[in-house]
Chain A
């Protein structure tokens, strides 16, 4: 079993150490900069569908290309209760509440992300 440790060259060790240092450092920076969000934005295929305050508990359904995604807001957190997709990655992601956290359902093209503010950033776009 020790045989493979002798495989490691100096380059390997340097690569592994550099990756560990970089990712641990950025994890710390990210965690420190994240605060609890105040609202959640739900987009389907890049188009904003709902913008909800996390302070009010509710349950709602959005429909995407392959079916419905049921979302629940509770205790200032949001999660996906049910989705018509096969892998259920969105359901297994669980609840989120920090700014920048998101739940992504690739098959149904639903993205739920947490933001700090409850206003729309752009009122209207004219072309």
Chain B
């Protein structure tokens, strides 16, 4: 696959993630600090098709562009979603490379979602709240990540299957 078609695919993935992210921030949610995190589909696709560096590029650009659209660039919420996104992508890339014998895309996506939430909660505890009782939210967040991580994995799985037949890009793994 040549360089320019890789750029096109990555831009499509970023645009996809951005649209889901924007849509998600406007739908009402039962618990205001919980978000489904469906935008993770974009970085998961990039990870499966182009590997770790591309997934990192997709998540970083998606968070920056999303914050510019929402008007939250460089504020605490932006820093939280940046650090959550980067650590989730790191963990998913690690699991895909070294643990894909044990876990399918479902397990990888769930670990990404759980790590995203844990990292954000710990950062909120350290820099904003300064009280450990905020960690009481952890079980609720983990349960919701199981749910949303599974949805993300299922959607990504079908997208990967379809994309494989549409275009000669082949997944690097999985």
Question: Hey, which bits of chain A sit against chain B, CB under 8 A?
Answer: 4, 7-12, 15-16, 19-20, 22-24, 26-27, 30, 43, 46, 86-89, 92-93, 99-102, 104, 106-107, 109, 111, 113
Which of B16-24, B42-50, B82-90, B128-136 participates in binding chain A? Answer: B128-136
Are A111's CB and B128's CB within 8 A? yes
Knowing A16-B110, A20-B143, A30-B139 are in contact, say whether A9-B104 is a contact too (CB < 8 A).
yes
Knowing A100-B136, A113-B131 are in contact, say whether A89-B33 is a contact too (CB < 8 A).
yes
Whether a CB of chain A sits under 8 angstroms from the CB of B114 is yes
Give A11 to B102 CA distance when docked, in angstroms.
Answer: 5
Whether a CB of chain A sits under 8 angstroms from the CB of B107 is yes
Are B134's CB and A27's CB within 8 A? no
Are A102's CB and B76's CB within 8 A? no
Counting chain B residues whose Cβ lies within 8 A of the other chain, the interface size class is: 35 or more
Knowing A87-B32, A102-B131 are in contact, say whether A26-B138 is a contact too (CB < 8 A).
yes
Knowing A93-B32, A102-B129 are in contact, say whether A23-B143 is a contact too (CB < 8 A).
yes
Partner of A7 from B75, B76, B129, B157 at Cβ < 8 Å: B157
Interface code B153-174, partner A: CB below 8 Å = 1, 0 otherwise?
A: 1100110000000000000000
Are B136's CB and A30's CB within 8 A? yes
Are B107's CB and A15's CB within 8 A? yes
Are B77's CB and A107's CB within 8 A? yes
Distance of B124 from chain A, by nearest CB (Å): 7
Partner of A27 from B75, B77, B140 at Cβ < 8 Å: B140
Are B139's CB and A24's CB within 8 A? yes
B136, closest chain A residue (CB) = A30
Are B32's CB and A92's CB within 8 A? yes
Residues from chain B with Cβ under 8 Å of A100 in the complex = 133, 136
Partner of B146 from A7, A9, A19 at Cβ < 8 Å: A19
Distance of B97 from chain A, by nearest CB (Å): 15
Residues from chain A with Cβ under 8 Å of B80 in the complex = 106
Are B77's CB and A106's CB within 8 A? yes
Are A19's CB and B107's CB within 8 A? no
Give A20 to B104 CA distance when docked, in angstroms.
Answer: 18
